[in-house]
Amino acid sequence: MDRYVDAAPGVRLWTEAHGPADAPPLLLIMGAQAPALGWPDEFVGLLARRHRVIRYDHRDTGRSTWGYDERPYPVTALAEDAVAVLDAWGVDRAHVVGMSLGGMLAQLLLADHPERLRTATLIGTGSLSSAAFRRPDGTSVPAEQLPGPDRALLEFWSRPVPDDIDPAAELDRRVEHWRLLGGDVLPFDADDARDRERRIIAQTGRYRAGSAHARADVSGMDRTGALARNDVPVLVVSAPADPVYPPPHPEHLVQTIRGARLIEVPGMGHALPRTVHAPLAEAILEHSDDWS
């Protein structure tokens, strides 16, 4: 079942739900410039066995409104969009799973709208806290000095996308991006990545990738105090091969979010290949079952 949601003046979001209508609701929040289909159908199906799973296209992705150039917005507005999605589906409180930028938006919800969350699961993201990371030996690392993205990814992101890029070349570029994001431990399934991106392009109706989320204002996102006072059950997923937020970012999240606990999905990078669907879904379901 799908529907459009009016999230803000001039902003409509495409959303869809899977699973029993009377099951505990679970909201999936994808990363920057990633639409709802960034959550693989097989993974959504595993969660939908016990949840009403809602996923949606951020603004400037998929079938949602593309309007950043006319109406710029801050990243914090994307968190308010998530609240609008819950409202539209009649959900008072949901389990929330956020990946990458989606994990940051989930932290904004923890801080600003804790009454709307049953639990939160954070995957492949960094903490919205300026608190230093405490090493096991007792020394500290300032938050801003934690490791950044892998050099190969930074080089990829620095390459300008030609104005005249054709659909085939754009598809190749996206597959290469997923190869880098997946890390260097689990085998990379290029055919699966290509098939998913073909579906995303077909659903979006355009093949050129957007850049709105990279240009959006990121100020006002520090939630150090609120996260330290958190009362919502939080699960942090450690992806040891993540080239975007490598360890100790997951450990830093656990330190800065009160009551958070950590689990590891071996070999996982900054992507959702089939090999991680079962263990990741199992971890999310166990976490949500404890608090449903």
Catalytic residue from among 60, 81, 150, 242: 242
Amino acid at 199: R
Q: What dihedral do alpha carbons 229, 235, 239, 244 form, nearest 10°?
A: -40
Whether 57 is catalytic: no
Whether 158 is catalytic: no
Catalytic residue from among 51, 249, 270, 287: 270
CB 141 within 8 A of CB 130: no
Per DSSP, 55 falls in state E
| Radius of gyration of the chain measured on its C-alpha atoms | 18
Q: How far apart are the first and last CA of the chain?
A: 23
Instruction: Identify which of 35, 89, 9 has the alpha carbon closest to the alpha carbon of residue 212.
Output: 35
Distance CA 292, CA 83 (A): 19
Element of type H or E holding 27:
strand 25-29
Catalytic residue from among 64, 100, 127, 129: 100
**Core vs surface per residue 70-90: b (16+ CB within 10 A) or e:** eeebebbbbbbbbbbbbebbe
Distance CA 135, CA 51 (A): 37
Instruction: Identify which of 29, 174, 176 has the alpha carbon closest to the alpha carbon of residue 107.
Output: 29
Distance CA 276, CA 265 (A): 7
Contacts for 156 with CB less than 8 Å, ≥ 6 apart = 176, 177, 180
Whether 292 is catalytic: no
Task: Dig out the tokens for 251 from the structure.
Answer: 């450990």
Which residues are catalytic, by number? 100, 242, 270
